Structure formats: structure tokens, C-alpha cells
Chains A and B, each alone.
Chain A
């Protein structure tokens, strides 16, 4: 199939970027979207041009590294998938595909389609961990966790930190990401010890990084590859109120 790619090219954070057109032939429907970009890059190498920078790692939808804005949607035209799970059969021969990096002040562009998501790491550092004794691993069933609670924690834990929530949110809010991390640990007995500190410090960092506020448009949960529910944000808000009233 033949596709016209319109891709954001930007040399560095300091340079101005612009959309550049590439007409690519020889693509097949079986190719993943990232393979199509690989194919384009091979053509650029042969022409002695600079390749397009984009991020990926596992290419099976679990690492959260890939992530670009494709034809006006985070991770492409389908709901709840990663960029690497998108295949060229989702497009028609002769289509034009616009590819842009995530856009948010807190996700500055490093090069082309690669953005710096270390703001997420700094939020994680504030409390998305538990303190526990090292040494022999404790007996797995020593702390009973009701199934409903472990399910909820697991659903939140599924967040891979890809940044699609921030990318698609008109306010560039990181509320879905932060709430998933907080609710994952705060709903489990293992996370109780640092419960209030976690909520206060992670949400403080979220705001300090310059992410916007959640206005519940609901776009994030549609684009989230892990289908993290927006109800997590409401739950985080409840925890914020509770930790403001009770926390240290």
C-alpha cells in the first residue's frame, strides 16, 4: 500500500519543528504502524537523510515506551491500544497519516516524535513505592486481601505510564496516571503505612511539574491502552480530601 505520512520533524528542544511530508510505497497491511515507520526510516537512510526519531521497546503493548499522536488521536484511531498495537490494516491504500509527538509543557520534545516524560518518573519517586523489610520474601498469603480490592488495585497497577492521558487531555492533566499509581498502592494493606504521605507528595509533584487540572472530559480513559477508568481520578480526589483532613 501507498501512504503519505505527514510527520512532525524537530531537531532538538530548541529548534522549531514543522510537519514534513513523506510518500511511502511498499507498505503492507500486516505491518505494524511502527514497522511502517521503520520502513520509512530505511528509505531515508538510503537517501542519506536523517531518520525520524521515535520511541519503542517491547512492541507488544506492555512497556509504555511507544506513543505518538496519529491522525488526531493518541495511539491512533482505535480506543484503548498502544501505538505498537496499531497495524496498517487500520488504514486504506492512499491514505494520509499525520504523526505528531505528545504535546504538553511537561513533556518537552527532545527530537521529532520523542518527548521527555521524566516528569512521570519524578511523580513516581514521590511515593509510588512501599517500604518493606528486605531479606526472605514473606509468605504470599500472610496478608489477606479481599478479591474485589486486589482486582481494583490490579486494574490501577496496569498503567504503563505511556503518557497518552496527558497527550489527549486538553489540559495536559496527569490526573489519570497519578491516580492509578496512588490507588494501586493505597488500596492494598501493604501501601497503608505511607498512605497519606503518598497522596500529598505525589499530587504535589504532579502540580509542580506543570500538568493541568482534570476537568473530566473523559478523553484519557478512551485513549488509555490499559483502560484505566476515570473513576480513579475521583477516588484520588477522595483520598486527597481524606489526607488533607487526616494526613501528616
Chain B
């Protein structure tokens, strides 16, 4: 089980790094439309054509699946260790809500990832659903896919609201991953806790606000 926990921590940290790159790229969407379209499309074309990114993408898919699967197995084991709940339990007095509900938060994020992949990955990479057009430079118009999706207020709301469980999950996950992997320097852990908070806020606000800005563009 310790091996599984370590793998959850390692894949989690990898996903944390991935999110930084993802959010940075999303910031292109904040530029004026004529610049943003070109920059976003050529960026995504570069990614699709890079064999290095191809390897990273496979590591990413495996990370998400393994992270979720091992977390599920560990949660089942943990439930077996405490099948009978207390009649009265004031656990909020000794621990944060998010730390006790990583499974629920993770499940919400997983549902989001599936919908998100259906919206983008399936259309752009697999060619499923409505065909993706080309821009003036002959690149797949990924900007248009994004822009048109965020003209739908329900998708904007969904993407924005899901950033809350994302931030909560990242905050606890980042803090815990280092402890799981055996980092036990007291001051270092205090610094990591602060970094985790700042990181979670930036990710939550960043991913949450961009769909709104695109909607209002």
C-alpha cells in the first residue's frame, strides 16, 4: 500500500507541474483576439507535432489513470479499516474538510477531465464530433473550438465552478505528497504548506476566471 501511496504522490506532483504549463498556455486566451488566435493555434500545432510532447502526453494519460485507480484502491482499503462511523463526530475541530474528502474532490475532477477531453482532445486529436476548421495559417483552429465552447454559459459555469474542488484538491495534495515521499524537514514543510496554498489559489483562480473572460470577450 505504501508503494501505491508513493505512486499517487509522484503522479500527483507530475500533474501539478502539468497544470502550471496548461495554465500558462491558457493565458494566451487573454490576449486580444487577433494575436490570441494565431498564438494559440501555432502553440497547439507545435505541441501536436512534437515527439517529446507525445511522450509527455502518454505519461500524462497514465498518470491520471494510475493516480485515480490507486486512490480508489487505497480508499476502499481505508473504508474497510473503519466501517463503523461514530454516532457523533466533530472531525472539523481537528482536520480540514478538503483533507478528508480528497476522494469526492478527485471524483469531481475526474468527471471534469472526461468532459474536458470530450470537448477538446476528442475533437482535435481524435477527430470525433464536429470537424475542427483551419485558421489563415493552415493550423487547426483550436482557438475557435475554445472560444465557441465558452460562448455557452453552462460550460463557462461548469469550468469555473470545478476550479473550486480543483484548488481544494491541489492544496491538500501538494502538501501531503511531500510528506508521503518522506520529506520531513519541519521548516521546509511549513514553506511547502505556504507554497501549496499560493499554488492552489493561482490554479483555482486562473482556471476559473479564464472561461469567464473568454465568454465576455
A238 at the interface (CB under 8 A from B): yes
A211 at the interface (CB under 8 A from B): yes
Q: Which residues of A contact B91 (CB under 8 A)?
A: 72, 168, 170, 217, 219
Residue pairs across A and B with Cβ atoms less than 8 A apart, 10 shown, are A8-B87, A69-B86, A72-B91, A105-B82, A170-B78, A212-B80, A214-B5, A216-B99, A218-B99, A234-B183
Secondary structure of the A side of the interface? mixed
Is the beta-carbon distance between A106 and B189 smaller than 8 angstroms? no
Is the beta-carbon distance between A71 and B90 smaller than 8 angstroms? yes
A69-B89 Cα distance, complex, nearest whole Å:
9
B50 at the interface (CB under 8 A from A): no
A237-B6 Cα distance, complex, nearest whole Å:
9
Q: Which residues of A contact B184 (CB under 8 A)?
A: 231-232, 234-235, 237-238
Contact among A71, A223, A233 for B88, CB-based, below 8 A: A71
- Chain B interface residue number, banded: 35 or more
A9 at the interface (CB under 8 A from B): no
Instruction: Please indicate which of the listed interface residues A235, A237, A241 has the most CB atoms of chain B within 10 Å of its own CB.
Output: A237
For the complex of A and B, list the 4 residue pairs with the smallest distance between their C-beta atoms, beginning with the closest.
A238-B182, A72-B90, A212-B81, A171-B78
CB within 8 Å of B: which of A189-248? 203, 207, 210-219, 222-223, 230-235, 237-242
Is the beta-carbon distance between A217 and B99 smaller than 8 angstroms? yes
A105-B83 Cα distance, complex, nearest whole Å:
7
Is the beta-carbon distance between A240 and B182 smaller than 8 angstroms? yes
Cβ distance A21 to chain B, nearest Cβ, rounded Å: 12
Number of interface residues, chain A, beta carbon within 8 A: 47
Q: Which positions in A face B, CB cutoff 8 Å?
A: 6, 8, 19, 69, 71-73, 77, 79, 98, 100, 103-106, 168-173, 203, 207, 210-219, 222-223, 230-235, 237-242
A73-B87 Cα distance, complex, nearest whole Å:
11
Is the beta-carbon distance between A217 and B86 smaller than 8 angstroms? no
A77-B84 Cα distance, complex, nearest whole Å:
21
B179 at the interface (CB under 8 A from A): yes
Q: Which residues of A contact B51 (CB under 8 A)?
A: none
Given contacts A105-B80, A231-B184, A234-B184, 18 further A-B contacts (CB under 8 A): A8-B87, A72-B88, A73-B93, A77-B93, A169-B82, A172-B81, A172-B82, A212-B77, A213-B5, A215-B102, A216-B176, A219-B95, A222-B94, A223-B94, A234-B179, A234-B180, A238-B182, A238-B184
